[in-house]
Amino acid sequence: MENIGHKSAEAINVVLRDHQANAHDWLFSSLTAELHTWTERMLLYFKIQFDGVPALLVERLRKRLGHYRNDRNGFGILDEVKIDQNHVQSAPFWRVLVTLAHELIHLWQVYNGNPPSPNRRTFHNLEFRQKAFEIGFFVDKQGRTQCLPGNTLFRSLLKEHNIEVPAVFEPDSQIHKSKPSLNLYQCSCGVEVRVRQSQFNAQCLDCGTPFVDKRSLVQ
């Protein structure tokens, strides 16, 4: 699927956003209003060329934390971004923002890149993973996402608004001298290596992304 160009806001998406903010008897009214605010920040900060308004939904999803739909849904609405209800109710807010950013990268790819065709088995191709890396995420082919360390765009944006992002994975401090186990590390293109170090600072020469501990990857 080729990109479909720059996108301006459809009127229904704007009306839906305003309706959600004013539906005070709805459990997720304040949350979706805040997520819309963060969407605007991310679109600008991450230079995602999109002038539209995503249709944010909060509902139960199966085996995923978020989902972006790149065609019109059953109401004829474009740019549907779903966030799992259990996720927003139980996860720390910074983690919800990771999911939101992940789905906005899908949106970016639809309008500014070359998303995979619908019959492909993976929706996280190299272009997607490279864009995610630029923003501050390690994403593997299955879509599992980890925040990269350092002064990344994502961490910097959240820090501007007094939200700290902790390390996703803290290696065990205890060193086992007998029968040391091998830790499994993976790069963005899927190459896996096993090493004894609890911290493995290496970079894949094929995709240019660092190897990260596979146990730290979350969907």
- Would residue 165 count as lying in a domain? no
Distances (CA, A) of 187 to 74, 125, 193: 37, 13, 9
**What was the pLDDT predicted at 216?**
66
pLDDT of residue 192 exceeding 90, the answer is no
Average pLDDT score over the chain: 84
**What was the pLDDT predicted at 4?**
52
150: domain range?
Answer: 11-160
What proportion of the chain, given as a percentage, has pLDDT over 70? 84
- Would residue 4 count as lying in a domain? no
Most confident of 31-40, 111-120, 141-150, 164-173: 31-40
Q: What's the average model confidence in pLDDT over 1-14? A: 69
pLDDT digits (tens, 9 = 90+) for 36-54: 999 999 999 999 988 889 9
In contact, 209 and 133? CB cutoff 8 Å: yes
**What was the pLDDT predicted at 138?**
92
Q: How many domains does the chain have?
A: 1
Confidence class of residue 22 from pLDDT cuts 50, 70 and 90?
Answer: very high
Cα separation of 5 and 113, whole Å?
A: 9
**What was the pLDDT predicted at 174?**
35
Half-sphere exposure for 58 (CA within 13 Å, toward CB): 19
pLDDT of residue 109 exceeding 80, the answer is yes
The single residue listed with the structure tokens 């639809």 is 110
- Would residue 149 count as lying in a domain? yes
Cα separation of 52 and 13, whole Å?
A: 8
Q: Which of 9-13, 55-59, 129-133 has the lowest mean pLDDT?
A: 9-13
Backbone Cα Rg of the chain: 18
Q: Closest Cα to residue 94, out of 202, 79, 60, 102? A: 102
Q: CATH code at 156?
A: 3.30.2010.10
pLDDT digits (tens, 9 = 90+) for 113-142: 888 876 666 788 999 999 999 999 999 888
- Would residue 202 count as lying in a domain? no
- Would residue 170 count as lying in a domain? no
Burial of 214 (0-12, 13-18, 19+ CB in 10 A): middle
- Would residue 175 count as lying in a domain? no
Burial of 27 (0-12, 13-18, 19+ CB in 10 A): exposed
- Would residue 179 count as lying in a domain? no
- Would residue 68 count as lying in a domain? yes
pTM for the structure as a whole:
0.76
CB under 8 Å, gap of 24 or more: what pairs does 182-188 form? 183/213, 183/215, 184/213, 184/214, 184/215, 185/211, 185/212, 185/213, 185/214, 186/140, 186/211, 186/212, 186/214, 186/217, 187/211, 187/212, 188/126, 188/129, 188/130, 188/133, 188/138, 188/139, 188/140
Q: What's the average model confidence in pLDDT over 186-190? A: 80
The single residue listed with the structure tokens 């229904």 is 12
Cα separation of 91 and 86, whole Å?
A: 8
| Beta-bridge mates of residue 183 | 195
